[in-house]
Amino acid sequence: MNKKRCVITGMGVVSPLGNTLEQFYTGLRSGLCGIREMTEWDIAGAGTADATYFGSPVELDEKFIKSLPRSMRRSMSKISLYASCAALQAIEQAGLQIGELNNQRTGCIIGSTMGGTSAISEAYRIVTFGKGLEEMSSMQFFKSVSHTAVFNVSHFLNITGTVMAPCAACASALQSIGHAMELISFGKQDIVVCGGAEELAPEVSGSFEVIYAGVSSTRMKDPKQCSRPFDSRRSGLVCGEGAGIFVLEELEHAKARGAEILAEVVGYATCGCGTQISQSDAPAIRKCLEMVYADAEISPDQTDYINAHATSTLQGDFSEATAIREFFGEKTPPVSSLKGHIGHTLGASGALELAASLKMMQESEIIPTLNLESPGEGCEGIDHVMAEPRKKQLDLILKNSFAFGGINAALLCKKYQN
């Protein structure tokens, strides 16, 4: 069976550096960092001289929130608001109207880690310390569930085709985009609104601290310096939030309506490790890279840039660098990570970072890894982009995402050629 070609016609972003792709990219190019001390979090042990928590939060425009009909807004926690804002940007760039999406040929796939974490916490507070179920809103369930972002966005946009919600932590967004590509490639959908979203929560950040994957000010005092992908002084990840949403479309469908084509999605792969749930595994990552290039039927030596997952954890960065070095050989493509700028946005990370990578493709430049000063042991031997943006024509980019649970995902996008 000949697979149909899948292209990107719209992108939308809500990020710690701005709530449009232009604002986000300008912040990245300027070397800004969205990470700060989360003084508003009420966590036992936090807020003292010895233990504070960092995060990379979003400031969403109140005008957008109030512009949503109350009938829709009442079922949305922050994660759904972020996803809805980014989705609206994406369909507007794609030249689509909400009414055009109400058909069985348009789908929606949006992943996340846990769903509406703030709503989950609120429900716990009500049941445990409040008046009990009588105080609970009838919308609490709809704000909390793991698929809250996708069903709220599909409702907002009146999408009636395939609706799915991958829930694979840091791999969620790439799995969403990859599944969307497959639906289009095999003729099951013409358009899919897809990506990932996440909301920042102390419960999630605190969990990373417990398993020694997170970074607190006890180890790095300056929030702007604490996320250090691949660096010798890296000591853990910092959680962030936001959303990245794309419009994926079958090529001939996009051409027939005169849509601007931003890039083509040419390969996707996802696989499990099978042996490890809490540590990244270099052989499994390498296998995922082999699979994505086989899917695209493209030689790895054509790759112009790798946007790494690189979360600033000791084991994760080491494993990814090892897999890249072993897979690509002596001369690796240029590599950078954006988590020094925005922290780890978990279920949104793959989509936010892909959007930035496609903007790099448009601008023919590579954003460097913020705070990478000296590659750590085992992270050497790959072509790190450091300190300053690097001018380079980018025709083929690789985006990596690797999640706890041993779940790996990779996506290949190339500059569109008719």
Q: For residue range 292-345, list pLDDT tens digits in order.
A: 999 999 999 999 999 999 999 999 999 999 999 999 998 999 999 999 999 999
pLDDT in the model for residue 46: 46
For residues 204-220, give the mean pLDDT. 62
Reported confidence tier of residue 162, pLDDT bands at 50, 70, 90: very high
pLDDT in the model for residue 378: 95
pLDDT in the model for residue 219: 58
Percent of the chain with pLDDT over 90: 78
pLDDT in the model for residue 133: 75
Which CATH code is given to the segment(s) 267-414? 3.40.47.10
Reported confidence tier of residue 47, pLDDT bands at 50, 70, 90: very low
Reported confidence tier of residue 280, pLDDT bands at 50, 70, 90: confident
Pairing of strands 242-250, 263-272: unpaired
For residues 259-283, give the mean pLDDT. 90
The answer to whether residue 50 scores a pLDDT higher than 60 is no
pLDDT in the model for residue 48: 44
- Calculate the average pLDDT of the chain: 92
**All CATH 3.40.47.10 domain ranges in the chain, comma separated:** 7-256, 267-414
Element (H, E) at 267: strand 263-272
CA angle 181, 183, 185 (to 5 degrees): 65
The answer to whether residue 277 scores a pLDDT higher than 90 is no
Question: Which of 18-27, 91-100, 268-277 comes out lowest in average pLDDT?
Answer: 268-277
The answer to whether residue 232 scores a pLDDT higher than 80 is yes
115: left (phi over 0), alpha (psi -120 to 50) or beta: left
Type of residue numbered 140: Q
How is domain 7-256 classified at the CATH fold level? Answer: Peroxisomal Thiolase; Chain A, domain 1 (3.40.47)
Question: Which of 5-19, 111-125, 233-247, 366-380 comes out lowest in average pLDDT?
Answer: 111-125
Which residue do the tokens 């448009």 mark? 362
**What does pTM read for this prediction?**
0.94
pLDDT in the model for residue 217: 44
- 8 Å CB contact between 142 and 155: no
Considering only CA atoms, which of 111, 143, 366 is closest in space to residue 246? 111
pLDDT in the model for residue 325: 98
pLDDT in the model for residue 213: 55
Residues contacting 206, CB < 8 A, separation 6+: 43, 53, 214
212: left (phi over 0), alpha (psi -120 to 50) or beta: left
Considering only CA atoms, which of 329, 269, 257, 256 is closest in space to residue 296? 269
Burial call 170-182: b when 16+ CB within 10 Å, e when fewer: bbbbbbbbbbbbb
Residues belonging to the active site: 170, 309, 344
More confident residue, 136 or 190: 190
* Other CB atoms within 10 Å distance of the CB of residue 372: 27
Type of residue numbered 127: V
For residues 48-65, give the mean pLDDT. 81
The answer to whether residue 198 scores a pLDDT higher than 70 is yes
